[in-house]
Amino acid sequence: MSRSTRDDAQASASRILVLGAGFAGLWAAVGAARLLAGTTHPHGPVEVLVVNARPFHSIRVRNYEADLDVTKVPLADVLDPIGVKWLQATVTHIDVAQRQVEVQSADGGTRTLGYTRLVFALGSALVHPPIPGLAEHALDVDTYEGAVRLREHLAALPSRPASAGRYTAVVIGAGLTGTEIAAELPGRLAALAGDPAQVRVVLMDRTPKIAQAMGEAQPVIETAMGALGVELRPDAQVAGVTVNGVDLVGGEHIAASTVIWCGGMRANALTAQIPAEHDELGRLRVDHCLRVRGVDDVFAAGDSARSLIDGKQPSIMSCQYGRPMGRYAGHNVAADLLGEPLLPLNIDWYTTIVDLGPWGAVYTQTRDRVLVAQGAQAKRTKRLINGERIYPPLNRNPADILQAAAPTVQTPPPDDVPAC
Ligand SMILES: Cc1cc2nc3c(=O)[nH]c(=O)nc-3n(C[C@H](O)[C@H](O)[C@H](O)COP(=O)(O)OP(=O)(O)OC[C@H]3O[C@@H](n4cnc5c(N)ncnc54)[C@H](O)[C@@H]3O)c2cc1C
């Protein structure tokens, strides 16, 4: 039975409501708390409340890795020490005119939350085009839950009857996520099969080249995939996915127990409920201070927002932009409430560091993806990012947590991390 509650806690106080606790939302909440700490709002206390579907901050960029436990950061460890409230619930409806958000908790109960200022940071989701069988049979690494499903699926392969495609995996989509999971699979499948000769991993894309958008990293990725034994299938058009594998346009069938879809992301569908301009990826257009254009009391950050990040070019859905967008959105939403000046966000660098499994990694800079490092050297940078740089402080120390949300832009990741 579902229950519905009107939440009136906000009646006597101002509330900054942050939707989402990913790379943008978590940092927006901490950024707001940082500015509010020690200040007095003329109309009484200001509450920062975060709504997130899970009770943890997901280090989503690590979903291609085998160990998923390290990708979960309990919200309580970061938000409780600094007095930020949080609620595990799913956002179902946003009413900007009434300044209300409807949420549903795991037990089916619904609540309506009021707000004074809103930060929209619900991220993005994998796009599923209407390819027959794709939604039913393909796995993914888009979310923590998807990555867990993949892990459980792989672990169950040895108990299946022997068949041609038992240890074959087809990865469809050779962008960043497809490349990263494809590089991991030969090792993961060989460990399960006990015999690398039984393993086949295919990375396919409809583009004329695999990892076509990767600039100077493209040939490096081809070399790495060759060394890892991953078959590359450019120019491949998928006609359908079945429980037995992949059918290609032209009639070829690839027998595979594992099919992983990595076909691109689109902004969270709830962006459509904000009456503002959206771009072709469904993202909310925000100004340099992360305020949604035309909706004064709503800010947005991360994959759900499109800002001109260097003053000219649109932000790219990424954690490297999502985290600073979050910090600035949090600072600015609180500053707006306090009547203080807002800070514009400007980031003049862009990097891509693609994990290539046991082969290493590849590191490029700029949107043209100029090669900076590869192999073991780039892998050290990737480990630094995935293991340290993108984590909040985990020591429950309020000063450290708040300081990490200061509205500043980091320098690009180093390419000379010393070997241990
Ligand atoms: C496998 C993989 C590898 C990647 N590698 C890189 C990389 O190397 N470098 C890089 O920069 N980027 C990378 N990315 C992209 C990066 O993960 C995203 O750009 C980033 O997570 C965006 O941050 P965000 O806060 O906007 O969204 P998210 O991190 O997705 O956070 C959104 C949050 O909102 C919550 N949420 C969503 N809907 C609801 C709802 N209705 N109600 C309540 N809560 C909800 C989610 O649970 C989540 O906590 C990778 C992505 C994947 C999947």
The answer as to whether 309 is a domain residue is yes
Token pair recorded at residue 37: 């700490």
In this structure, the answer to whether residues 43 and 121 fall within a common structural domain is yes
Last residue of a domain, one of 348, 381, 414: 348
Among 60, 127, 139, the mutation site with the greatest number of ligand 1 atoms within 8 A of its Cβ is: 60
In this structure, the answer to whether residues 148 and 188 fall within a common structural domain is yes
Taking the centre of ligand 1 as the mean of its atom positions, its distance from the CA of residue 262, in whole angstroms, is: 14
Element (H, E) at 325: helix 319-338
At 8 the pLDDT is: 44
The per-type count for the chain, helices as H runs and strands as E runs, is 9, 25
The answer as to whether 184 is a domain residue is yes
Three-state secondary-structure class, residue 374: strand
In this structure, the answer to whether residues 10 and 118 fall within a common structural domain is yes
Last residue of a domain, one of 263, 281, 297: 263
Token pair recorded at residue 391: 């984590």
In this structure, the answer to whether residues 120 and 139 fall within a common structural domain is no
At 274 the pLDDT is: 98
- How far is 374 from 182, CA to CA, in rounded Å? 17
Q: Whose CA is nearest to atom 15 of ligand 1?
A: 318
- How far is 271 from 268, CA to CA, in rounded Å? 6
Indicate which atom in ligand 1 lies nearest the CA of residue 147.
Answer: 1
CATH code where residue 44 lies: 3.50.50.60
In this structure, the answer to whether residues 222 and 194 fall within a common structural domain is yes
Phi, psi (deg, nearest 5) at residue 152: -70, -40
At 1 the pLDDT is: 35
In this structure, the answer to whether residues 106 and 144 fall within a common structural domain is no
Range of the domain at 103: 4-125+266-348
The answer as to whether 383 is a domain residue is no
The answer as to whether 50 is a domain residue is yes
The answer as to whether 407 is a domain residue is no
Query: Ligand 1: does its nearest atom lie under 6 Å from the Cβ of 271?
Result: no
pLDDT in tens, the chain (420 residues): 344 555 544 555 799 999 999 999 999 999 999 999 978 777 778 999 999 999 999 999 999 999 999 999 999 999 999 999 999 999 999 999 999 999 999 889 999 999 999 999 999 999 999 999 999 999 999 999 999 999 999 999 999 999 999 999 999 999 999 999 999 999 999 999 999 999 999 999 999 999 999 999 999 999 999 999 999 999 999 999 999 999 999 999 999 999 999 999 999 999 999 999 999 999 999 999 999 999 999 999 999 999 999 999 999 999 999 999 999 999 999 999 999 999 999 999 999 999 999 999 999 999 999 999 999 999 999 999 999 999 999 999 999 999 999 999 999 999 999 887
In this structure, the answer to whether residues 199 and 148 fall within a common structural domain is yes
Among 27, 52, 61, the mutation site with the greatest number of ligand 1 atoms within 8 A of its Cβ is: 61
- How far is 326 from 332, CA to CA, in rounded Å? 10
In this structure, the answer to whether residues 223 and 296 fall within a common structural domain is no
- How far is 266 from 125, CA to CA, in rounded Å? 6
Number of domains in the chain: 2
Query: Ligand 1: does its nearest atom lie under 6 Å from the Cβ of 300?
Result: no
Last residue of a domain, one of 263, 293, 316: 263
Query: Ligand 1: does its nearest atom lie under 6 Å from the Cβ of 263?
Result: no
Query: Ligand 1: does its nearest atom lie under 6 Å from the Cβ of 21?
Result: yes
At 40 the pLDDT is: 76
Query: Ligand 1: does its nearest atom lie under 6 Å from the Cβ of 142?
Result: yes
In this structure, the answer to whether residues 113 and 139 fall within a common structural domain is no
In this structure, the answer to whether residues 97 and 28 fall within a common structural domain is yes
The answer as to whether 48 is a domain residue is yes
The answer as to whether 154 is a domain residue is yes
Q: What is the pTM of this model?
A: 0.96
Query: Pairing between strand 4-6 and 117-120?
Result: unpaired
In this structure, the answer to whether residues 54 and 139 fall within a common structural domain is no
Taking the centre of ligand 1 as the mean of its atom positions, its distance from the CA of residue 282, in whole angstroms, is: 15
User: Residue 312: is it exposed, middle or buried by C-beta count within 10 angstroms (0-12/13-18/19+)?
Assistant: exposed
The answer as to whether 172 is a domain residue is yes
In this structure, the answer to whether residues 247 and 151 fall within a common structural domain is yes
- How far is 323 from 290, CA to CA, in rounded Å? 13
Taking the centre of ligand 1 as the mean of its atom positions, its distance from the CA of residue 159, in whole angstroms, is: 33
Element (H, E) at 226: helix 218-228
At 7 the pLDDT is: 59
